[in-house]
Amino acid sequence: MKKSSSSHPLEVIGSTRLPLGMPPSRFLREYWQKRPLLIRKAFPAPVVPLSPNDLAGLACEETALARIIQYDSQQDHWQLREGPFDTATFAALPEKNWTLLVQDVDKWDTDVADLLEPFRFLPSWRLDDIMVSYATAGAGVGPHIDQYDVFLLQGMGRRRWSINTHHKASTELRDNVELPLLRQFSPTHSWTLEAGDMLYLPPGMPHDGVAENECLTFSISMRAPAVAELLVDLAEYRAESFGEELRYADPDLQPARAIGLIDNKALERLRTTLGSMAGDLNPGELGNWFGGMITRYRCTAPAAPPARCPSLEQIVTALAHGRPIVRHPFTRFAWIRHSTGIVKLFASGYAVLCTESLAEALCTYSSLPADHSALSGKAARLCLHELMGIGVLTLGRKPRQSR
């Protein structure tokens, strides 16, 4: 077990006067979004503003955000169920290895909301909610990462928390699991928290909590919007100030050199139209966004993946037997030059690498005969297979022979 430096201890003792074991200014300076901190006796024990039965009752409310997570250790299988639940659901649960989680309990219960008082040194708009989890012995939600600051306050019983503070800790997630669980987890520190103890974790730190006995844990979480969410909302906010008459325009348009090509002139006009909203996007990034957007724009019947997509071998065989390639009638195609001989083809918002000849042919014709030159070659066939998997292309019927 690694030890921390004396200037930044990983474990301190709290009090009624200093729930963080130190003044808030020191906590913010030395720990906030920098390193974890275990605070023993942060709150007077026991911390039980509501009972497990109260929590179960809340999980049965129609508008409550509740989940039950069960783990089968023999099968290494995690099961996630979304609420609301009913009493029969709880009656059918086993004695061990399940957890009930309910979000926003502070909005439902004033006694739980009172737990936020010691955190008033943080901006109120940064405080998100208090999630309460009830866990049976041996239960947890698996090793995972939260992308926001969280204070884990033990309210009843004991829970064993393990964390990995290594800066190169793996963040790869498991496949075929309903929950975002880590594929690998190698803890560097472990502690058992009892009622009143609290563990602070900065964003992105791998951790896992397992109940040693029946317990309640209060998770005080922070609001931390993803940059993607901020940009989408900012764009919608900015868009409100623009009228319908302000549109993409091309009064200097010249005859197209290649059908379906989004050329550099178009991207220059686009940057002028968007102004500062285009930010520091380079031509490639701007083209990738615009190609996807413009091929989705005003599409009333988008393509859908087929129930069964033909294999690459089946496509080659079908072409050899004269079956044409037919595009979905509502699909729009466009392309940009990606590198010498290879372009990026956009189809209903999807992007695939493609040969230039095939991209231009698909933009030009609604159907390509099996012997069309653009359909030859491995690169073209791979592109056809990918586009059929999306549902924008299908194999047509072989033309009838004229007598």
N- to C-terminal Cα separation, the chain: 85
Residue 216: name the closest of 21, 15, 46 by CA.
Answer: 46
Token output for 296: 């989705």
Cβ–Cβ under 8 Å, residues 234 and 178 = no
Pairing of strands 37-40, 11-13: parallel
CA distance 390 to 302: 10
In this structure, are 48 and 115 located in the same domain?
yes
CA gap 390, 319 in Å, rounded: 19
Two tokens, residue 11: 């474990």
Whether residue 128 sits in one domain with residue 18 = yes
What sign results for the dihedral spanned by CA atoms 70, 76, 77, 78?
positive
The answer on 181 and 92 residing in a single domain is: yes
Q: Which residues contact 57 (CB under 8 A, 6 or more apart)?
A: none
Domain end (from 155, 187, 222): 222
Tell me the β-bridge partners of 218. Answer: 132, 153
Ramachandran class of 142: left when φ > 0, alpha when ψ lies in -120 to 50, beta otherwise: left
Token digits of residue 235: 């764009």
Q: What is the CATH number of the domain that holds 72?
A: 2.60.120.650
CATH of the domain at 271: 3.40.366.30
Tell me, yes or no, whether 81 and 213 share the same domain: yes
Residue 46 exposure: Cα atoms within 13 Å on the Cβ side = 11
Domain range for 241:
226-403
Of 168, 201, 222, at which residue does a domain stop?
A: 222
- Domain end, chosen from 167, 197, 222, is at 222
Report d(CA 273, CA 293) in Å as an integer. Answer: 15
Report the number of distinct structural domains present in the chain. 2
Q: Is residue 153 part of a domain?
A: yes
Phi/psi at 343 (nearest 5 deg)? Answer: -125, 165
Please tell me whether residues 332 and 208 are part of one structural domain.
Answer: no
> Which residue in the block uniquely carries the two structure tokens 């190169």?
168
pLDDT in tens for each of the 403 residues of the chain?
A: 444 545 889 999 999 999 999 999 999 999 999 999 999 999 998 888 999 999 999 999 999 999 999 998 888 889 999 999 999 999 999 988 999 999 999 999 999 999 999 999 999 889 999 999 999 999 999 999 999 999 999 999 999 999 999 989 999 999 888 899 999 999 999 999 999 999 999 999 999 999 999 999 999 999 888 888 988 898 888 888 888 888 889 999 989 889 999 999 999 999 998 888 888 888 889 999 999 999 998 888 888 999 999 999 999 999 999 999 999 999 999 999 876 668 999 999 999 999 999 999 999 999 999 999 999 999 999 999 999 999 999 999 988 776 5
Burial-class residue 16 by CB neighbours within 10 Å (0-12, 13-18, 19+).
exposed
